[in-house]
Amino acid sequence: MNMIWAGFVMGFLGSLHCIGMCGPIALALPIQTTVKYKRFLAALIYNLGRVFTYALLGLIFGLLGTAFKLVGLQQTLSIVSGALLIVLVIFPYAFKKVFSGKSVFDFPFINSLKQSIGSRLKSHTFSSLFIIGLLNGLLPCGLVSLAIIGAIATADLVQSSLYMALFGLGTLPAMVALILTKNYIPLKLKNTFTRVVPVFVCALGLLLILRGMNLGIPYVSPSAEKSCCSSSSCH
């Protein structure tokens, strides 16, 4: 499986976490119409704003991954990224703090960002919904932080951006459903997904470590020679 699809799976499995983090904003969106297709369109536009921001973040952080690749440290980057993901799962306290979004990306502009979102909530236009989504994607979120680590590990600008875009698309079904139904997910189902996410993140971390070790295992840990050959279309 191409690594970028791991972003979609992470987004889908973690979408209930997104409901907890972004739910209050999503439920406060200025969607006045009762026409179903218009409500769906409004919900979609807002969420596509988030996806666009995630893709942009993937592009930006992809520069870091590309830099590692250019200096010949792509395998090291893969191992370090995988180890970091696993550490965040093994140490629950650290994982909880990252997932809360309070200890990561806690920059001074967060309050002004929230104020900008609040002012946009008073406007009843599709463009405002898209901008709210754009800004929402910049708010601190532990799940996004974990996705960014995976995106950096792709060591490619395009793949990193696609990874984050697919991550955003993975969260889309649950977020759209929340806006349309205005109902939160049952606690039992939410708890089930909450337990699955760390397992998936740990598995992804292990896969990244194996990929960086060049063990010659097809699709899982291909040798560096084969990887270089396939990327340069050798025959």
User: What digits encode the pLDDT tens for the residues 167-219?
Assistant: 999 999 999 988 888 766 666 766 777 778 888 888 888 988 888 787 766 65
Higher per-residue confidence, 24 vs 107: 24
Res 232: pLDDT: 43
Contact 166, 8 (CB under 8 A): yes
DSSP structure string for 94-115: HHHHHHHTSSSS--TTHHHHHH
pLDDT (mean) for 43-62? 96
Share the mean pLDDT of the chain.
82
Checking if the pLDDT of 226 tops 60, the result is no
Task: Give residue 103's pLDDT.
Answer: 46
The pLDDT assigned to 67 comes to 92
pLDDT at 105: 46
| Confidence tier at 227 by pLDDT (50, 70, 90) | very low
Give pLDDT tens digits for 120-161: 998 888 999 999 999 999 988 888 988 999 999 998 999 999
pLDDT of 160 reads 95
Q: For 14-28, 53-67, 129-143, 221-235, which range has the lowest pLDDT when averaged over its residues?
A: 221-235
pLDDT confidence of residue 107: 57
Nearest to 18 by CA among 107, 133, 154, 150: 133
Read off the pLDDT of residues 73-103 as tens digits, 9 standing for 90 and up. Answer: 888 888 998 898 888 777 765 555 555 545 4
Distance of CA 116 to the CA centre of its chain: 22
Separation of alpha carbons 90 and 87, rounded Å? 5
